[in-house]
Amino acid sequence: MADVNLWQRPNGNWEVRWRTRDGQRRSRTFASESAAQEFKGGISSEQLRSDSRGLPDLTVASFIEEKWWPTVRVRVAESTRARWENEVRNHITPKLGTLRLRDVRIEEIDNLYLARAEQGASHESILKLRSVLSNIWTEAHRLGYTDKNPVRLSRLPTRKRSRLDETVFTLEEVHRIATAATTIWRGYAAPILMAAGAGLRWGEVAALMPADIDLGSGAVRVNKSLSEVAGRLEIKEPKSRAGNRVAVFHASIKDELTSHLATCATSELMFPSPGGHHLRRSNFARRVFKPSVVTAGLESDNTFHSLRKTYATMLAELGAAPRSISDLLGHAQVSTTLDLYSSRFDGEVHRMAELLGHPRLRVVGS
């Protein structure tokens, strides 16, 4: 018999408690008795089904389509849903779709990671794939379709390159890249300079309007971002409160911004495409940024986002405090800034020692 119980909590909510096939106790709270009863019935039928005939005989593809997707569609944001759908369609279903869910082994998950790595996927891309796999198998285990989670013990391929080892463009190199971009179209230099000169993300650059920029003070108001979901462009507010901020651009890009405003900008877009529309990230990277890096004579596999790191590095080298850099970048926590750019602050403790009157700092224990 299925071990599933329902009771009402003192605060009026209803709680379903049940024991999984491996003996673990689980619980879930609902605002109404009817919702709790419905959930209890589902758990009971799943457990009875498993108790009487063993684990359900579903393929990975069938479970995703019949059980997982219906819950995902109502509990995650559209942008996340589109990203997960891409992972499922392009990577998970082709490799694992025909396998029985209950029989998938850790080795087969590992091989999926290796296949993505051999295709040239970045470590971050493989982490996103693992996140989707983990979500699928966690739900499968919760519903009783499998008694193990192979994703939990799977191993990612060795990271080939750390973010801290990534080459960061100097401001002089950024100007060379921007100059190379003008050979494709005059208006393509300014967004490159803005990303490096003010530390903006791609979506923030693409959403800027002329009214957001004060050339006199160097201030850039960041209160929106362009995102692309399933090929559709949308203007959204920054993801966090910290993202809604005022940035400051480097004075060396002022002349280029002034010229750009006079010749290329529209009333609604600071950095439009040649046709007057929003720039698209993938098109800009493929047609403009990467060719311009090559034309500038720089051998680098850095992305457009690397320009933002140029800004952070420049501020760190000028002696800016991590909190100030975090505010300008729009990070919700200073720890994010330190995690991403810790190598840029290696000299900070020595600089603080000098300010406190110690000409040479000897680290205790060294």
For 24, phi and psi rounded to 5 degrees?
-80, 140
CA dihedral for 194, 195, 196, 198, sign (positive or negative): positive
- Predicted pLDDT at 354: 60
The mean of the pLDDT values for the chain is 84
Q: What is the DSSP string of 257-289?
A: HHHHHHHT--SS-SS--TTSS---HHHHIIIII
Note the pLDDT tens digit of each residue in 265-290. 999 999 999 999 999 999 999 999 99
Model-level pTM? 0.61
- Predicted pLDDT at 166: 58
- Predicted pLDDT at 46: 53
For residue 206, pLDDT over 70 is answered with: yes
pLDDT band at 244 (very low <50, low <70, confident <90, very high): very high
For 290, phi and psi rounded to 5 degrees?
-60, -45
CB atoms within 10 A of CB 284: 21
Report how far residue 117's alpha carbon sits from residue 123's, in angstroms, rounded to the nearest whole number: 8
Note the pLDDT tens digit of each residue in 252-268. 999 999 999 999 999 99
Q: Looking at per-residue confidence, does 227 or 272 come out higher? A: 272
**Max avg pLDDT among 74-78, 143-147, 149-153, 212-216:** 212-216
For 86, phi and psi rounded to 5 degrees?
-65, -40
**Of the candidates 68, 111, 107, the residue with the CA atom closest to the CA atom of residue 88:** 68
User: CB neighbours of 219 closer than 8 A, spacing ≥ 6?
Assistant: 213, 246, 247, 248
- Predicted pLDDT at 364: 38
Q: Are strands 219-222 and 213-214 parallel, antiparallel or unpaired?
A: antiparallel
Specify burial of residue 73 (Cβ count, 10 A radius: 0-12, 13-18, 19+): exposed
Q: What is the arrangement of strands in the sheet containing 4-8, beginning at the earlier edge strand?
A: 4-8, 14-19, 25-30
Note the pLDDT tens digit of each residue in 33-91. 888 887 777 665 555 444 434 567 889 999 999 999 998 888 888 878 888 999 999 99
DSSP state of 59: B
- Predicted pLDDT at 361: 40
Q: Looking at per-residue confidence, does 223 or 49 come out higher? A: 223
Note the pLDDT tens digit of each residue in 337-358. 776 665 555 555 555 556 566 5
Do 82 and 233 contact (CB within 8 A), yes or no? no
For residue 192, pLDDT over 90 is answered with: yes
DSSP state of 100: B
Do 58 and 29 contact (CB within 8 A), yes or no? no
Q: Looking at per-residue confidence, does 360 or 108 come out higher? A: 108
For 248, phi and psi rounded to 5 degrees?
-130, 125
For residue 164, pLDDT over 60 is answered with: no
Listed range (64-68, 148-152, 224-228, 357-361) with the worst mean pLDDT: 357-361
Report how far residue 216's alpha carbon sits from residue 333's, in angstroms, rounded to the nearest whole number: 30
For residue 223, pLDDT over 90 is answered with: yes
Average pLDDT over residues 114-129: 87
Do 296 and 196 contact (CB within 8 A), yes or no? no
Do 327 and 242 contact (CB within 8 A), yes or no? yes
What percentage of the chain exceeds 90 in pLDDT?
47
pLDDT band at 318 (very low <50, low <70, confident <90, very high): confident
Do 316 and 345 contact (CB within 8 A), yes or no? yes
Report how far residue 328's alpha carbon sits from residue 363's, in angstroms, rounded to the nearest whole number: 31
